[in-house]
Amino acid sequence: MAEITKAILPIAGLGTRYLPVSKAIPKELLPLVDKPLVQYAVEEAKASGITEIIFVVNSNRKFIEDYFRRSLKLEKTLEERKQEHLLRLLKRIEELGEGMTFSFVSDKSLGDGHAILQAKKLVADEPCLVMFPDDVVDSEVPCAKQLCQVFKTAQKPVFALYELKEEQVFAYGVARVETIAKRFYKLKEFVEKPNPGTAPSNLVWLGRAIITPEVFDYLKKTRPNKKGEIILAEALSQMLRDGIMVYGYEVEGKWLECGDKIGWLRSNLYLSLKHPEFGKTMTAFLKEEKLL
């Protein structure tokens, strides 16, 4: 039975929805409360049994490498200043990388499917996890681990689904499904950004999936769209039309979407109020300012 040990993190996008800040800082390094988006993804992967992360990057590689690499000079300065609490924060990042391998492949920002294809050689013929760092899930059981548990039985591609209100789904990829068990579905159709009132369900894809080698095969055959991009959703749609079995799992937890500025701001507020260190202070501030 195949185990999931590798994860692809596509982070080669241009980050246009975060301009102008994304001209200088990769959006994956934007802070969500007290740590960057990419750290949430790596923590989730490690907690889900992943031992190798394949970053699909563009010019942001150095930023990502620097973030996860030890800085002996900085540590020495903090030691001299006796700033033990800051040293502990750096130690957590070091510990996060223990037992894990980070690999990098380059991409030219030609769509999420094109980015995933760049990792094929490193994935070889294994099933693997795909994680988009601008999707964060606040849950007791890590989102990726939920998918890995489903895959143990399914042994077929599994896409993370999340239920939204009817008036929200038009902005996402929406699945038409056949119920197999509670939260577990067979995907029948996948509609990208349906017109209002035409969505086949309220279940949308949430930036996590376990893919198998045949997904790479379909990505290879997928024609670029008008923008010259190869899109994973289009490959998925063709697989379903060809009768390939693909499953969906409605994940448990709260989806914090950070793909644009509004979602990022909402997610910061949500997690700030729940944070064990900052929560009480933030709540008091909002009440004091009559914002809550």
What confidence tens digit (pLDDT) does each residue in 209-218 have? 999 999 999 9
Residues 6+ apart with CB under 8 A from 100: 42, 46, 50, 51, 52, 53
Burial class (CB in 10 A: 0-12, 13-18, 19+), 162: buried
Kindly list the domain boundaries of the chain, sorted by start residue.
6-259
pTM: 0.94
Percent of the chain with pLDDT over 70: 100
- Angle at which helices 84-97 and 72-80 cross, to 10°: 150
User: Length of the chain in residues, anyone?
Assistant: 292
DSSP 289: T
Question: CATH: 3.90.550.10, 1.10.10.60, 1.10.1270.20, 3.30.1450.10. Which one for 6-259?
Answer: 3.90.550.10
Residues 6+ apart with CB under 8 A from 262: none
pLDDT digits (tens, 9 = 90+) for 95-105: 999 999 999 99
CA-wise closest residue to 220 among 137, 120, 139, 287: 120
pLDDT at residue 13 greater than cutoff 90: no
pLDDT at residue 2 greater than cutoff 80: no
Q: How confident is the model at residue 1 (pLDDT cuts 50, 70, 90)?
A: low
| Residue 10 vs residues 7, 219, 280: alpha-carbon distances, Å | 10, 15, 35
Cis peptide before 20 (omega within 30 of 0): yes
